[in-house]
Chains A and B, each alone.
Chain A
Amino acid sequence: MSTKSKSIKSKTDFNQDERLKKVSNLKILLNRPELGALGGAILVFIFFGIVAGDTGMFSAYGILNFLDVSANLGIIAIAAAMLMIGGEFDLSIGSMIGFAGICIAIPAIYWGWPLWMSIIFAFSMAVLVGYFNGILVVRTGLPSFIVTLAMLFILRGATLALTRLITGRTQVPGLRVLIENDPIAWIFATDSFKWVFTWLGSMNLIALRTDGTPLATGIPPSVIWFIALAILTTWILMKTRYGNWIFASGGDKNGANNVGVPVGRVKISLFIGTAVAATIFATIQVLDAGSADTMRGTLKELEAIAAAVVGGCLLTGGYGSAIGAAFGAIIFGTVSMGIFYTDVDTDWFKVFLGAMMLIAVIFNNYIRRKVTESK
């Protein structure tokens, strides 16, 4: 034994292999998953800056407008991205939005619950739906694509059927009057930094209404939620143990299991995350519109996944970033609003969305090959 160990003292160094190239810092930066989305967002802003720079798109009101749309999509896109990094899909996000809206509106309007209780009820239902999705996927080992596709139909159908059963119609209006003095609703319904806009208005720096109040009244709640979620999720992914477990669960669930990562629990928590994000989206929209609609959120799950993919998430899991999904959402939101300011027919938006996603997938695929191939 001892003679053998002596004979192997000579140190072997893999990296003295002459075929190895030095990796430059630029290349490391290029390997970041969100780079494509960041570049895309910058391109989009440059494009609209040139094409629509003088149309009011970049006035305070215009900016808040497209930021609001981006932020709404971003809230669910970030959660979808977290789940995709964890190796799963959730196609029931859109249906969950409709369901959550009804969960707020029916108790508040028809059962006389205080609004805050209805909101808590909706979030509780979201946790249940997310948990159910998660446990089904984890326990059965079926692809989440199928399980949540089933949930897409079940939730949308249940939303429609229950609403018509209880209310006799498919829309529930009348929520706006309940928002005032509610201890929770303001979190989802109040514009922030109003004083900034009032001041800007008084200085005549931003457009005013005829009564002298500024056209843009404050930062919409969606934007605040969006920024907070983007920061929180990025911190989780980069800086916490749970974040490492998310990457590990999506990257190789058997391997992760073998070294002690509770893969099942991680995935279930991420499914709860998408359902809760859908409910945040729904609460903001329902309180903003003052009514709940059974069809609200239709196809939003696909937009969320598209934004996550543009943001650098791989469909196979284990790779991606929350901040990338946020940029992806900003791209879609900006284009969907910006297109109104140009001469282009808005019908072309979907074409853009599809093309953007295709380019992103090809780009991501290339990046993945670069990252994983042995050098």
Chain B
Amino acid sequence: MSDYLVQFNNISKFFGKVIALKDVTMKLRKGEIMCLLGDNGAGKSTLIKTLAGVHKPDEGEIIFEGEKIVFDSPKDALDIGIATVYQDLALVPLMSVTRNFFMGREPLKGPPFLKTFDIEKANKIAAERMGQIGIDVRDPSQAVGTMSGGERQCLAISRAIYFGAKVLVLDEPTSALGVHQASVVLKYIVKAASQGLAVILITHNVHHAYPVGNSFTVLNRGKSLGTYEKKDISREKLLSMMAGGEELDKLEVELKEMNRISS
């Protein structure tokens, strides 16, 4: 019996002849943040969709709390507690904080067949939950469109946690944010992990990943370049691995060459 909450063992995914993922392995304990790093086209999106139950892996197995499981739909993944927060956040800017928070899972009250959306309760919970992460929602009926990018990200994460996430898959949570907002979101992610969630943080930004991650998996052209504990790898090494280190080295040489000629 392993102490891992969730294990993705040798996951492969093919689209026709294209190998989108090959033998990707990731293991997470409770309270751990694993950062999945990779450049554009590295297979991050395919991996996320496989974790979220959108794609079925063609090879490999997913073991959750010691049991082998197969997802037939995103709902299956959600039901056992693997929640994915996509880049678009699944938030509707024109709708209120409360209506977004409970979208698709509205609390109901009243007699059978005449059940209504319990707005008061929903408002209370939404305000409470947002308050816990330091976002003071003056009025939970205000539109999400009025919130900042960081606040929206936190709302989406907070919603996933409220609805019972044990494993949180975050797709580029900081990519569209400024420095301050990004740090707020990262703090919240660490806080969520410290409460016992396992977090898979997908990003191409090493500077955001390195401070918060416990381990790092680098993805390149559909293959995992390995998983490293934080103590075993430096920020610079990670950076050069995910960008395909040689390419940057080559570029540097070329630039030097150009400078030499022009000067």
By a beta-carbon cutoff of 8 Å, the part of chain A in contact with chain B is 1-2, 4-5, 8, 11-15, 23, 28, 31, 239-241, 243-245, 247-248, 251-252, 254-256, 258-261, 314, 318-319, 368, 371-375
Contacts and interface: CB of A to CB of B under 8 A. Distances in A.
Counting contact residues on chain B (CB < 8 A from A), the size range is 35 or more
B95 A251 contact: yes
16 contacts: A1-B214, A13-B135, A31-B143, A240-B116, A243-B117, A244-B117, A247-B95, A248-B99, A248-B104, A251-B94, A251-B95, A258-B86, A258-B90, A259-B90, A372-B143, A374-B148
B88 interface: yes
A84 to B, nearest CB: 13
Interface stretch (B58-66, B188-196, B252-260): B188-196
Nearest to A251: B92
B145 A374 contact: yes
Contacts of B106: 241, 244
Interface of B: 31-32, 74-75, 78, 84, 86, 88-95, 99, 102-106, 108, 115-117, 119, 134-136, 138-139, 142-143, 145-151, 184, 187, 190-191, 193-194, 212, 214
A1 B31 CA distance: 8
Nearest to A241: B106
Given A13-B134, A23-B142, A245-B104, A255 B89 contact: yes
Given A14-B151, A252-B91, A259 B103 contact: yes
Contacts of B99: 244, 247-248
B194 A244 contact: no
A218 B46 CA distance: 65
A258 B212 CA distance: 27
B36 to A, nearest CB: 18
A8 B183 CA distance: 10
Contacts of A372: 93-94, 143, 145-146
B93 A259 contact: no
Given A23-B142, A260-B104, A374-B147, A252 B187 contact: no
Given A241-B108, A248-B95, A255-B88, A14 B150 contact: yes
Contact of B138 (A11, A15, A240, A368): A15
Contacts of B31: 1
Contacts of B151: 14
Given A239-B117, A259-B105, A12 B147 contact: no
Contacts of A245: 104
